[in-house]
A and B are shown apart, each in its own frame.
Chain A
Amino acid sequence: MRVLRHIWVLGGKELLLLSRDLVLLLFFAYAFTIDVYMSGEGLGIELRDAAVAVADEDHSPLSRRLIESLRAPWFQPPEPIAARTIADALDSGRYTFALTIPPHFQADLLAGRRPAIQLIVDATAVSQAYVGTAYIQRIMLEELTRYISGGSPEIALPVEPVIRVRYNPNRESPWYEGLNMLLHSVTMISMLLPAIALMREREHGTIEHLLAMPLSAFTILASKVWSSMVVVLLGLSLGLVAILRVAFGMPFAGSPWLFYAGTILFLFGTAGLGILIATVARNTPQTALLALLVMMPMIFLSGAYTPEESMPSGLRQAMVISPLKYYTQFATGLVFRGAGLDTLWPDLAAMAAIGAFVFGLATLRFRAWFAAAQR
């Protein structure tokens, strides 16, 4: 009981310290809300306002129809340019796509000579190049078929593909991008808080005060962990409710209780990593460096920004140790697909195992350091 009270009081001290730094609290609020809102609203990987230059060398009704079919919100109004200026136009970075409709296109099409439209893509904008090329291709084909068949946009295929997108059917990226950003804010802050809190005590020598008191290493760690968990869980809830739920209208398909239970497992892992970093580093700058080294690969290789399947297999295997990989699978599965414990247990088990291992290791290291300091 005494131990619990110590943990309670020491954790309360951390929260009190945080609550006095208004600027820092504002930045936290920013990371959990405005950042989530902006990335959700702005980061859609779908095509938006893509800049297209068009060289129409045919000037036929068909070529005009094709050009007009590139509409908002996917494309900016196509700008007519001369075919020989295409290279300069793309160099300047003003356009991502340049479309050339060759002379006699309509006549050749009607005569069955299979003319070709040329599409040049600035492939340095990789994501847009992929998605935009597919869009333009689909729009052009639809428009061509409509022209040939006299009005029907359906391609008269012997077998019609009925394509259905499950979960998030309109591919609403605010939900996906917003949730990912929120998970990443959670990851960064939950790892940094206990790491720097511990390091601060070491640098200021206030850990000597703690050493002089009848406290165990476990008590000190537990107080740092619960207080930072409270901060992160509050921020997470704020972002989930105010931004994702209210502002973006994201449906929450799974159980919120399970979501929080999984989150706490995840937070044990990140807090453990933070503490481990603080025991390896000697001062605050070192702590920050090590944290960057751990945090950034976890976030950017988690599969949220680039498809996980396409990572080189060595790295993909290395990411097996990242708790964020399981947390992302867990959260997207639960929130978007409504998965329950029956399908999510492997992710939960993995997070528990990683959390137990990292946290155990961190405690051992901290205890050894603590014992050495007490002597």
Chain B
Amino acid sequence: MSLARVAALVVLELTALMRDPFRLTMVFAVPTTLLLLFGYGLTLDVENLKFVALDSDRTPQSREYIEAFTHSRYFQNRGLVESDRALEHLFRAGEATVAVEIPAGFGRDLKAGYHTQVAIWIDGTSPFRAETARSYAEAMHLAILGRLARETRGEAVEIIPASIEMRFWYNQSLESKYAFVPGIMAALLLVAPAMFTAIAVVREKELGSITNFRATPTTRLEFLLGKQIPHAAISFLNFIVLSLLTVFLFGVPLTGSVAALTVGALLYILCATALGLLVSSFAKSQFAAILIATIVTVLPSFVYSGLMIPVSSLAGGAAVIARLYPAMYFLDISVGVFTKGLGFAALAPDYVALAAFLVVLIAAAAAFLPKQEA
């Protein structure tokens, strides 16, 4: 392998990029903009659930029950409805997520100490929201009961004889951003580098300039490295920008080892660009390269990386794909270093996995790139 030839190819690629200022700007602006949007926008804090009530009782007790819901920040009051049909309509239109239906006689039964029921309806379309809404509603119900019982019968009621104390570690307020922002960075550092590298190679094929490679002593590996290195370098700059934003703009403290994060990012970016090289070897045209790169990076990097759902609870094919994909390993490193304060030792398996990916991806890309036209 001739380093001089690789260097010449790197300079060539960078020059082409410098002469396209719009593209150069976008290469940095796109990941930054996406981090800002997703960092603020992706949050699992379920609040403002649309709440409606159907009060067939209309006693002080039933009103108090409903008010407890409407005064909570978790529920957003959408008012009272008069009939089952109206309730049905609101659910169908997606205008209600949680509804409480209080039967006639509720207040009377409660005072008399009879057993009575309230119906709580939840829209199950989105399972995560439904599950969270259900636990809010249950907790709310228990709290209200204690209060109602005290007021109507004047005695304190111990409903449950023990308590469960909860501590949320690494992220005490259970705010999504501490886990999400470093994770989003991991996803973005896969999508953009893979896409750009793939296009850079296929572009030469499509516009015919690949004859320069075919007609010179340049080897396959030299050609691929010449494409990969400039895009990896740009992505590494992007990594620095995104990390600074994570710490200074989003206020996510970097509690672990900076060196561990940097080494991980370097390996990962090389994997991402190598994935782009592999895509380029399958793609006949830029058209195909963009579509294939989009299909194999955009959704998988967010969905199968552990960003939304921990990899340990993925099932079936998704669990397999997640492990055969570099994103989860760097997500482990990124979240581990930022939020859990980890260093090299705790993350060793992730580095090994990324290094293995790198070797396999480059070898596969070189094997698939024909030196001669078939």
Contacts and interface: CB of A to CB of B under 8 A. Distances in A.
Interface of A: 21, 23-24, 27-28, 30-31, 34-35, 37-39, 41-51, 90-93, 96, 105, 109, 112, 114-131, 133-134, 136-138, 140-141, 144-145, 148, 155, 157-173, 176, 181, 184-185, 188-189, 192-193, 196-197, 200, 203, 282-293, 295-297, 299-301, 303, 305-307, 309-312, 315, 329, 332-333, 336-339, 343
B309 A127 contact: yes
B255 to A, nearest CB: 12
Given A122-B169, A124-B179, A127-B309, A166 B124 contact: yes
A193 B290 CA distance: 10
A374 B113 CA distance: 86
B122 A286 contact: no
Interface in B144-177: 145, 148-149, 157-172, 174, 176
A218 B290 CA distance: 25
B124 A168 contact: yes
A337 B91 contact: yes
Contacts of B319: 42
Contacts of A300: 38, 41-42, 302
B316 interface: yes
Contacts of A167: 91, 123-125
Contacts of A188: 294-295, 298-299
Contact of B128 (A45, A93, A299): A45
Contact of A310 (B20, B45, B122): B45
A148 B129 CA distance: 32
B371 interface: no
Contacts of B190: none
Contacts of B162: 105, 109, 114-117, 144
13 contacts: A38-B316, A38-B321, A91-B346, A117-B164, A164-B119, A168-B127, A171-B124, A176-B127, A188-B294, A285-B196, A295-B294, A312-B41, A333-B94
B346 A131 contact: no
Contact of A27 (B160, B199, B291): B291
A127 B308 contact: yes
B22 A307 contact: no
Contacts of B171: 123-124, 126, 129
A85 to B, nearest CB: 14
Interface in B98-150: 106, 110, 113, 115-132, 134-135, 137-138, 141-142, 145, 148-149
Given A23-B282, A24-B283, A166-B121, 15 more contacts: A24-B288, A27-B291, A27-B292, A39-B303, A41-B318, A45-B127, A45-B131, A123-B168, A124-B335, A129-B174, A159-B106, A159-B110, A166-B122, A169-B124, A196-B287
B186 interface: no
Question: How extensive is the interface on chain B, given as a class?
Answer: 35 or more
A165 B288 contact: no
A292 B191 CA distance: 9
B23 interface: yes
A31 B93 contact: no
Given A38-B316, A91-B346, A307 B129 contact: yes
Contacts of B55: none
Contacts of B145: 157-159
B83 interface: no
Contacts of A157: 142, 145, 159
A60 to B, nearest CB: 13
Contact of A124 (B110, B135, B314, B340): B340
The 10 closest A-B pairs by CB, nearest first: A42-B318, A134-B135, A123-B171, A123-B168, A165-B124, A45-B128, A171-B127, A38-B317, A168-B124, A289-B26
Contact of B199 (A169, A284, A333): A284
B199 A196 contact: no
B179 A286 contact: no
A131 B167 contact: no
| Among A34, A49, A296, residue most surrounded by chain B Cβ atoms (within 10 Å) | A296
Contacts of A141: 160, 164
A292 B162 CA distance: 52
Contact of A148 (B141, B161, B200): B161
B63 interface: no
